[in-house]
Structure 1
């Protein structure tokens, strides 16, 4: 039987962290005190069982630690200096690997660090505070564990860091990484070297499976893993540790290791795994969940596993309370709980008519998927229908890919050719996993759009809770189990129609692609001109499918920022695509490479050219040759955006890319007196606009293509207010989903799909 008391301790700890991290300070303090007093009084008066004291004590302890950590960060000298935008000298130790991210004005290096000393504004402080370093792409790339000194400007950060550090000069190295970090880096390099000669996707997937090193993975393949519910394989997860340490224990038994020495071997394996995968909170969390899984595999595993899970949750949150609000923590805990609590019951039901190995193979991924589905839907807005099948098919290849990949890396440190030979089956296994992900993502209805609002998520959560008692009843009979499987197969293989979509008379669609642009102009029956493709292929492909677009005679890429070109492959997927055109400024280089790597070289959208593409008339009105830089502080790639005036079905549309105020002012001079029916608001509604020009266009409708809860504050409220005051109806993809402009009876209107 599962030990629910330990789970209650973990639940109490989780609630305590959420109270402090989600609620305002005084409300959080009051809530914690009220709960503690009420439960204590209830126990004293014997109205509540004494068992309540444990969870409440866990709640109060974690809430206290979370509040203390928040106070220490908020009261750090770094926070005060960051509020003032001070330039300081910092001593830092890098605590993570460097990641490259695409910023508003180009690529940035992002790395976490701990600050030990800061000098600025005539004072100096010794401290220990977490920070995030955000440096330009040309800043020296230093390994984890390096101690440095650098000058930097401080800016306010998130609640879990004291400041964001923007270096203003090159760092001075004060200390090299410790020997264990060097050893871990050597293992990671050796794993990569062991599979370096394999297929491009396989040689990136093996390091991801072994130590979560997915930095070079193809974004399209990563999307396929998300669609098929295999994303957990790309990050450091409990599965990685279970496989690695489990193999180490089997090897130890074979060599004659027994008793306490076997436990010591497991401990060494866990520590080695954590160091190799990087000792960050997410890695330690994964290691804790993997250890719980190992315990659950032993004798009396269900009871010991649930006790281990509750203690692991409590311990992790006492050290890192902010894990409570991270998606990875929630998914790890829920998946482990599902496997421990639900899988044995569902396995026993299946074993009434199916072999044990079949019952276990089906029940484990099914239980984990049901437990995690509400959180996954809250993050992605989708429910995967192929996740259980994909995990079932991929599972046999995960162990050899992980274990042999690591073995190849370790042996490669001794003799590189031996490591390559041992790692070869790991690459073959990774190839099978890749094939499963791609085939699963190609299923017509691999996932269904669900939404992230409170009502759909509540309905989904209730459905998953209802599955807990219902599933065993369905699984214990072959007829009902096979009927459900057949129904699911039909739903996946036959793409359901979207009633009333695309709407009659549609002329322009702003696809809901997140923080980016993906615009579609109807050019005829099942044909469209596409302007930009959003940040990732899946959303763009799905939007074009919903619009029943099968042919794209022209694809225009206004500029090469990732939020406009990352989804180009989604446009190409299964469609006849004619010309691809873009701007003359081939920056940033990463965006240009992302397009050219698909085998299509974009031509130039010639300034001043007017042409007809199907039912669409297009005129390129910007950029003028050689006139893209703009004012100081503006983004040259943004100002080089291709700007189009389109006309279809009598509706005039201005598509503005991401042009900034100086380019807008130039357009106002070049296109004096221009009037349009529909305006695509530049740069996702950024505050940086020439409002006089935008409001002078007389647009009846304005469309803002923008991601929900984006970090940029787009669209700026004052921009929306100014357009509305000018008589323009403003529609936003973050609020309404796909925004479609329609013409009916000569009138222009908007239909949304939220």
Structure 2
């Protein structure tokens, strides 16, 4: 069965990534390879025939589906950007997303009829819907009709993208979907009274409902290898169905009745978590885990894994190219193949339950590491420890969250009581993710090129072979753990960092701003604090900044002020200043509360006043007096960017313009007020957004342009059409998503830069 699974997977990949002649060649090679590994001659013909049959079935199914999607009527209309009317069924929960000009709603629609270019066609294909607020109220399973303009889609499973008008609901969801919605809503209600991170994580843990998760929490989970807890996985199903089986046994159910309970539990889980390909994959992998329990677990589990892969690829051949599918299969295979061997080795000197608790996450992590590195570009060094530490809380959190949702349907106080318990459990998980992500070397950068990934794959295979001997003896195992702990907890020194001649530092804090102007030995003026405390705190520690005579918050958006606690942590701070535009109100309140906890008020930066702070000369060029009234003129947060404090600084002869998130109207006003302004270093406004006054920025003549921006952000920052003209004018453009932390120093010839990933 594993051999058939490999043949099915290879055929699915080939059908979607290669032309037909290459697909045929791959099928021949796969068949020959299958024959080569068969040991018993009497099985040769059967094995070759089975491999060829499975590969042909999956390959043809995948090729047909790709052709239907790419060459069907909807795809043709999408290429013509036609205005159409579609009728179909909503197959994904609507999800609000932030747009550049307005918030939109994303969902998926299985189109049953499309009318466009004067013709109507009945069919069955999926499109991504991008709509306005009314789409947020459309429930999964509803039948709707909507008009809009089609455009092409990138995903291989999508025939197009529908920029849709308001939907007309023709029929509501069926009773099963309505019941699942009630349970999901009840789970959210059961933890609504808990802190935001807990209230968001419990639904994600139980049903994969991650709409309320904060980006910072997601990043911490990604760094610590806990991302699988935020999505529907086989672990979710194993815990939920396992809980139901225990309850059934308490109720006296035995024999075949247990299989019925298990089947009903799997069906209920799929309805709760939605019938998307990722959920079906998780359900099948969780079922494999359940089958792997008991006698002959290894043989039964590995055979079941092979069957699961073949069946999934026959039903959903698109999974062959899904990273989530690869991670599920590899993690399950690692647990089935490696974990028992390592558990038995460690059981010689550890209690068996402890050995198993260590072996399972270690096996899953080793098996998945090459794929995770290909997706993220980094390798987590704390993943095994983090998964081990949170493991005791995952089961109770999942069970209590589900039980709280079910009881909440009958009696709300009981649901909230169990929800409180679930919140306590996930509070521990959030704390572990937060502390683990803050470790100096929680993860190491790893290339995503073929050579780097091949080297990592070989390394993982070597570890899989040698770890049994290492783990069999307490001395060698504990020595490896000690070395890993030192590597994780002690940041390795970076030669030449920080440079003794640095004057400006741009900290890599993700999607946000945090800069430091050197005011003297161990001192710096800090401008903005980034989106979370840990990143800016680490950056200032690495710069040797022990005292901060002044913090300036350019404006009160979270990506500039939420890290303020990290600047204040363990450092004397002289003053905190901000813009006169008190927008958004929540950001203002949070910044004031953080500063007040350190005994500091948030004063308003004085317009046009020149002052000296150590080696730094500062002048606030913007906003002008009276700009605070702007905040009352529109929705909360709308006026914040153009109310940014703009600072002109000079440090040891280097002129620096720090612009916050100033928008083109503010930039144009500065250009009119300060004709002929020239600087050496420019902090590019608004993370390199495409909306800039390029003539003004180019006129500054900056030799170095700093772009503080997060990798893979959803805003399209920075825009190449902004960076390229500045680079063509002779500026050196440095960006935190590619270059990491950046230093600007003084030389005899002017300025020089250094970077550190």
- CA drift at 1:282: 1.7
Give the stretch that moved more between structures: 147-156 or 665-674: 147-156
1:12 aligned residue: 7
| Aligned CA distance change for structure 1 residues 246 and 484 (closer, same or farther; 3 Å) | same
| Aligned CA distance change for structure 1 residues 555 and 303 (closer, same or farther; 3 Å) | farther
- CA drift at 1:467: 0.8
| 1:220–1:537 CA contact under 8 A, matched in 2 | no
1:3 aligned residue: none
1:741 aligned residue: 744
| 2:94–2:136 CA contact under 8 A, matched in 1 | no
2:293 aligned residue: 297
| 1:558–1:583 CA contact under 8 A, matched in 2 | no
- CA drift at 1:341: 0.8
| Aligned CA distance change for structure 1 residues 620 and 16 (closer, same or farther; 3 Å) | farther
- Deviation track 1:69-117 (CA, whole Å, cap 9, x = no partner) reads 3333333444444445444444343222233333323543322332333
2:654 aligned residue: 651
Mapping for residues 169-318 of structure 1, pairs under 5 Å: 170-198=166-194, 200-318=196-314
- Deviation track 1:348-390 (CA, whole Å, cap 9, x = no partner) reads 1112222222221221121112222333344444433333233
Residue among 158, 161, 165 paired with 2:162: 165
Give the stretch that moved more between structures: 358-367 or 500-509: 500-509
1:581 aligned residue: 578
- CA drift at 1:39: 4.8
| 2:380–2:443 CA contact under 8 A, matched in 1 | yes
- Deviation track 1:603-627 (CA, whole Å, cap 9, x = no partner) reads 6555544444443333333445659
- CA drift at 1:466: 1.4
Structure 2 distance, partners of 1:149, 1:596, is: 49
| Aligned CA distance change for structure 1 residues 737 and 181 (closer, same or farther; 3 Å) | same
| 1:39–1:53 CA contact under 8 A, matched in 2 | no
Structure 1 residue 357 and structure 2 residue 349: aligned? no
| Aligned CA distance change for structure 1 residues 430 and 682 (closer, same or farther; 3 Å) | closer
| 1:557–1:583 CA contact under 8 A, matched in 2 | no
TM-score of the superposed pair, with normalisation by structure 1: 0.87
| 1:652–1:676 CA contact under 8 A, matched in 2 | yes
Structure 1 distance, partners of 2:690, 2:242, is: 54
2:139 aligned residue: 143
Mapping for residues 610-689 of structure 1, pairs under 5 Å: 610-624=610-624, 638-689=641-692
- CA drift at 1:274: 0.8
- CA drift at 1:281: 1.7
Structure 1 residue 337 and structure 2 residue 336: aligned? no
Structure 2 distance, partners of 1:702, 1:444, is: 28
2:61 aligned residue: 65
- CA drift at 1:445: 4.2
Secondary structure of 2:492's match? coil
Structure 1 distance, partners of 2:564, 2:56, is: 50
Give the stretch that moved more between structures: 268-277 or 520-529: 520-529
Structure 2 distance, partners of 1:357, 1:503, is: 50
Structure 2 distance, partners of 1:247, 1:99, is: 30
- Deviation track 1:646-693 (CA, whole Å, cap 9, x = no partner) reads 222211122344445554444332221111112233444455444433
| 1:646–1:652 CA contact under 8 A, matched in 2 | yes
| 2:506–2:515 CA contact under 8 A, matched in 1 | yes
Secondary structure of 1:229's match? coil
- Deviation track 1:239-264 (CA, whole Å, cap 9, x = no partner) reads 11101111222222333333333222
Secondary structure of 2:292's match? helix
- Deviation track 1:509-557 (CA, whole Å, cap 9, x = no partner) reads 3334455544443333344344445566655554444434455554545
Give the stretch that moved more between structures: 265-274 or 668-677: 668-677
| Aligned CA distance change for structure 1 residues 137 and 678 (closer, same or farther; 3 Å) | farther
| Aligned CA distance change for structure 1 residues 136 and 576 (closer, same or farther; 3 Å) | farther
| 1:90–1:118 CA contact under 8 A, matched in 2 | yes
Residue among 35, 39, 42 paired with 2:26: 35
- Deviation track 1:136-187 (CA, whole Å, cap 9, x = no partner) reads 457653332233333434443322323333344x433222221111111111
Residue among 366, 373, 380 paired with 2:369: 373
| Aligned CA distance change for structure 1 residues 689 and 310 (closer, same or farther; 3 Å) | same
1:468 aligned residue: 464
| Aligned CA distance change for structure 1 residues 240 and 751 (closer, same or farther; 3 Å) | same
TM-score of the superposed pair, with normalisation by structure 2: 0.86
Give the stretch that moved more between structures: 669-678 or 619-628: 619-628
1:130 aligned residue: 126
Structure 2 distance, partners of 1:147, 1:557, is: 49
| 1:584–1:604 CA contact under 8 A, matched in 2 | no
| Aligned CA distance change for structure 1 residues 139 and 542 (closer, same or farther; 3 Å) | farther
| Aligned CA distance change for structure 1 residues 190 and 390 (closer, same or farther; 3 Å) | same
Structure 2 distance, partners of 1:538, 1:451, is: 25
1:416 aligned residue: 412
Structure 2 distance, partners of 1:326, 1:45, is: 28
Structure 2 distance, partners of 1:83, 1:556, is: 50
Secondary structure of 1:103's match? coil
Structure 2 distance, partners of 1:46, 1:475, is: 31
| 2:581–2:630 CA contact under 8 A, matched in 1 | no
| 1:114–1:129 CA contact under 8 A, matched in 2 | yes
2:703 aligned residue: 700
| Aligned CA distance change for structure 1 residues 262 and 33 (closer, same or farther; 3 Å) | same
| Aligned CA distance change for structure 1 residues 452 and 604 (closer, same or farther; 3 Å) | farther
Structure 2 distance, partners of 1:20, 1:531, is: 53
| 1:17–1:322 CA contact under 8 A, matched in 2 | yes
Query: What stretches of structure 1 of length at least 5 have no aligned partner?
Result: 1-5
| 1:102–1:562 CA contact under 8 A, matched in 2 | no
2:728 aligned residue: 725
Query: What stretches of structure 2 of length at least 5 have no aligned partner?
Result: none
| 2:349–2:474 CA contact under 8 A, matched in 1 | yes
| Aligned CA distance change for structure 1 residues 126 and 607 (closer, same or farther; 3 Å) | farther
| Aligned CA distance change for structure 1 residues 46 and 148 (closer, same or farther; 3 Å) | closer
| Aligned CA distance change for structure 1 residues 104 and 696 (closer, same or farther; 3 Å) | same
| 2:3–2:34 CA contact under 8 A, matched in 1 | no
Structure 1 residue 479 and structure 2 residue 468: aligned? no
Structure 1 residue 91 and structure 2 residue 98: aligned? no
Structure 1 distance, partners of 2:345, 2:25, is: 43
Residue among 319, 326, 335 paired with 1:323: 319
Structure 1 distance, partners of 2:545, 2:733, is: 25
Give the stretch that moved more between structures: 491-500 or 643-652: 491-500
Aligned residue pairs: how many?
A: 739
Structure 2 distance, partners of 1:282, 1:405, is: 21
- Deviation track 1:612-644 (CA, whole Å, cap 9, x = no partner) reads 4443333333445659899xxxx8665554433
